[in-house]
Amino acid sequence: MNSYRAPNRALRALAHPVTLGAILLLALNDHLWRRVWPSWLTGKLSDAAWLSFAPLLTAALISWIAPLRIRRRERWVIIAAIVLTGCTFASIKTLPIAHHLFAETWERLLSWRPALLRDTSDLLMLPFLGVAWLVWKAAAVRPAPSPRRAALVISAATLLSMANAGPPMYGISRVVLDTDGRLVTHTGYAAFESDDGGLSWRDLPAQAADLPPEPAHRAPWTLATSEQEVFRFSPGSGIERSTDGGATWTNEIHLSNEDARTAFNRKFAAATVVNAVGPMDAVVHPTSGNLIVAMGPEGVLVRRPDGDWQWVGVGSYRTAELNSPKQIVPLLQGEIGLAVILIALTVGAVAWRLGRWWVNLLAVLAWACWIATLFATPPALTSGYDVVFTLGFMLAAGFLALFVAIFRAVQLYRILPALIWRALAFGGVAAVAFVLPFLLWATGGIWLYWVARLVSLLAAIVSVLLGERVLTAGSARTTLPAPG
């Protein structure tokens, strides 16, 4: 009977109400909440729920193969299960080689590539492994479940674990001509057709388009439209055209991760679209002569015979126009937040001569968090779960900067009340100077984000230095304390 103690305990743990609740939470979150309310929270809920019961599923397997002579066998079974589950989860989420090996193995076994993303912020959910440990301890005194119930729980947990790594959706990843000369595309959940050369699309019953949703091309490829005209497509980079059979090339469409339109699409694309980078497929419509390029979450790009390119939306997949505050403000909400924090940073910086080394140290830490936000996790370019790190740096910078600003404001008020308004005025100037380059970037005035970021940082530094000089000169009649 001793040989069955660990397997029976594993079954009791799997049938525990907490385990059943975690399995139900995973099912609801993956198949309802993540689709209706996509956010970083619903993304993390699935990881938390899975880590709560996956070690118990692993323990059920280990309990049958672990040697019987191990002392305190039940304890070592759950420890091994938790360590194995945690290490596997962490390596897949952080190590490119582990993630690639897992995806390739999964694809070979099940014929589809999983949507398990490599995201270091998911490691924040590792403490939920402790739930499995607590359930295992509680299962020591629970009655054994019926074989039918145990089999049902194991099946549900296994199937949901597999469904949790379901196939990714790439948006408009394929476009072909059907037998009637119409253009057809398929996203996995929906299909669309066009009979005007890709300039407009209408819904098509999904079963009418027998197309795999995976991208036709993940690496650069070429398409010849005539003996001399050849197009070269580079996913995530752009589209080039040659009129001499490929001897020379001219750039037709330039794509960049730091382009405002691309950044907007990545931040606010449909929640089912992951790692989607166009161009993914292309075809020439013989009737109109149009070249239609599949661009993932951005719909399609259509090139007319006269050389004019046009972005066309397909269903919910379309590119951003970025021509209204309703689009620009959400894209730059992080940069606007940094500008507000910059006001407090400026107040603390222009009054640094007032001394108190520990206050200056807090100010340096605030600036470090602010700069880390701008360069390590730039808000407009950060999407998905990495937003957690952006918010963390911003909150740290905001709290520290606010404390330093209030402390310095009190000191300035005791010296000369008017100095507070001068410091705030220069804080406002720094904030406006910081935001303007990003506004130019969002509206197309500046092409790349790093250029806008560099100009914004320089403008902010100049404003702060000018404010410090003017504040010092304006208070010449007042003796400021020496630093320290």
Closest CA to 164 of 322, 268, 25: 25
pLDDT of residue 482: 44
DSSP label of 185? E
CB-based contact 205:228 (threshold 8 Å): no
User: H or E segment at 221?
Assistant: strand 221-224
Contacts of 292 (CB under 8 A, 6+ apart): 175, 183, 194, 197, 198, 282, 283, 284, 285, 300, 301, 302
pLDDT value at residue 479: 47
- Kind of pairing, strands 183-186 and 176-177? antiparallel
**CB of 258 closer than 8 Å to CB of 246:** no
Cα–Cα distances in Å, from 179 out to 3, 79, 186, 264, 330?
64, 59, 16, 37, 43
Mean per-residue pLDDT of the chain? 80
Segments in 186-309 forming alpha helices (H): 260-268
Q: Does residue 422 register a pLDDT over 90?
A: no
Residue 1 banded pLDDT, cuts 50, 70, 90: very low
Residue 424: which pLDDT band, with cuts at 50, 70 and 90?
confident
User: Can you count the helices (H) and strands (E) in the chain?
Assistant: 15, 12
pLDDT value, residue 269: 60
Task: Give the span between the Cα atoms of 27 and 175, in whole angstroms.
Answer: 33
Q: Tell me the per-residue pLDDT of 191-210, one tens digit each, with 9 for 90 and over.
A: 889 999 999 999 876 544 55
Does 175 or 207 have the greater pLDDT score?
Answer: 175
Please state the domain extents for the chain: 2-163, 176-312, 325-474
Identity of the amino acid at 284: V
Q: Check residue 338 and give its pLDDT.
A: 94
Q: How far apart are CA 413 and CA 405, in angstroms?
A: 12
Q: How much is the average pLDDT of 411-432?
A: 82
Determine what percent of the chain is predicted with pLDDT higher than 70: 78
- As a whole number of angstroms, the distance between CA 73 and CA 83 comes to 15
pLDDT of residue 411: 80
Model pLDDT, residue 185: 85
- Reported as a single tens digit per residue, the pLDDT across 262-319 is 888 777 764 444 556 789 999 999 999 999 999 988 889 999 999 999 999 998 788 8
Residue 167 has pLDDT above 60, yes or no: no
Average pLDDT over residues 239-259: 90
Percent of the chain with pLDDT over 90: 25
Alpha-carbon torsion 383, 388, 389, 391, what sign?
A: positive
pLDDT at 300: 93
Q: What are the residues whose beta carbons fall under 8 Å from the beta carbon of 93, sequence distance 6 or more?
A: 99, 118, 119, 120, 122, 123
Label residue 209 left, alpha or beta by phi (over 0 means left) and psi (-120 to 50 means alpha). beta
Q: Is the pLDDT of residue 385 over 60?
A: no
Query: What average pLDDT does range 4-21 have in this prediction?
Result: 80
| pLDDT digit string, tens, across residues 439-456 | 999 988 888 899 999 999
Interval 396-403 mean pLDDT: 92
pLDDT over 70 (residue 34): no
Least confident of 55-69, 317-331, 378-392, 463-477: 463-477
Question: In this predicted structure, what is the pLDDT of residue 158?
Answer: 64
68-103: pLDDT as tens digits = 667 677 888 888 889 999 998 888 888 777 777 777
- Going by pLDDT thresholds of 50, 70 and 90, the confidence category of residue 218 is confident
The pair of structure tokens assigned to 163 is 């469904």
pLDDT at residue 102, rounded to an integer = 76
Q: Find the radius of gyration of the CA atoms of the chain.
A: 29
Tokens of 4: 């069955």
Per-residue pLDDT band at 484 (split at 50, 70, 90): very low
Q: Which of 111, 113, 298, 302 lies closest to 197, judged by CA?
A: 302
pLDDT band at 168 (very low <50, low <70, confident <90, very high): low
How far CA 193 is from CA of 55, 298, 315, 339, in Å, comes to 46, 16, 10, 46
Reported residue count of the chain is 484
Q: Are 361 and 332 in contact (CB under 8 A)?
A: no
Among residues 381, 366, 284, the alpha carbon closest in space to that of 331 is found at 381
